[in-house]
Amino acid sequence: MNLPDPTPVTDLIEAFRRSKIMFAAVSLGVFDRLHESPAGAAELAPAIGVDADALERLLDACAILRLVEKRDGVYSNHPVAETYLARASPHALTGYIRYSDAVLYPLWGNLESAVREGSHRWKQTFGFDGPIFSHFFRTDEAMREFLLGMHGFGLLTSSLVAAAFDLSRFRRMVDLGGATGHLTIAACERYPQLRGVVFDLPGAAAMAREQAARSPARDRIEVIEGDFFRDELPEADLYVVGRILHDWSEEKIDVLLRKIFDRLPHGGAVLVAEQILNDDGVGPAWANLQSINMLVITEGKERTLSHYRQVLEGVGFRNVEGRRTGSTLDAVMAFK
């Protein structure tokens, strides 16, 4: 009897081990210390306050995962770790990695219950009724690191989203829930006629001002504090919602899109930046995994282009078109 190759199963059995190795090394500051200088396990252990033998095993595991390099017992960061796992890097993803470790990892531990009940797992996991981020980000430093981690993700995708459609016809873009402003910055740097507004809550707005000030397009970028559900939207002929709609139920999406539609002038548009599922709901893999992530942490999900078209046209938008960007974030545009 010829048995099928068990690799897909055995890989998944140990997949969480690989993630947790990276999470632990980031949390312990391994990559930050190796950013300062290469070191052996015996030298590094007292510097970060851990057991030397256990650290050597962790470092060797990081080496086999190609996160660090080992030569003659001395470890150094692999370029990928130096870029994305050392907090000193402008492209660091460490804030989101720490959030994944402290928040998402426990939430995913209750995935079975989420599937049974069809709802997020905040109450079951942490005793809260919803994603009360202030509980997890008690300090400005923790919030800052998380936002910078999201900024790092944004840098990987925003220039591609900004290039997915020709935005040269628009004059003023408002990025709702724009966080650190990475998409606004990318769009304004690509289109010299475009003025951009980052519209977000005060904590994120402060970071957006800091990031915008570093851009050559800074004179065309404004940051306005506000809540897109509660407050009047700033005037624009292009509204952007990036990684926003997947957080919310159909009812709340409808409320937000109607608010955008009513505020737009004729000929204006909305640009949706989300992971678009294939029409049959299977793939791309990143979108399916993120849709499960939305199940355990929000009331939303990832959607197909057909689904977005139905929702947008239901509000009154027309000429709905989707574009794959080749990254983990796609684009949908619709006009009033």
Tell me the catalytic residues: 246
Task: In the chain, count H helices and then E strands.
Answer: 16, 12
| CA–CA separation, 156 and 325 (whole Å) | 11
Contact 324, 163 (CB under 8 A): no
Q: Which two tokens stand for residue 284?
A: 């791309």
Residue 276 β-bridge partners: 303
103-108 contacts, C-beta under 8 A, 24 or more apart? 103/136, 103/297, 104/293, 104/296, 104/297, 105/19, 105/20, 105/23, 107/296, 107/297, 108/293, 108/296
Choose among 156, 306, 179, 285: nearest CA to 293.
Answer: 285
Which structure tokens are listed for 235? 């005037």
The whole-angstrom separation of Cα 169 and Cα 193 is: 9
End-to-end CA distance of the chain: 61
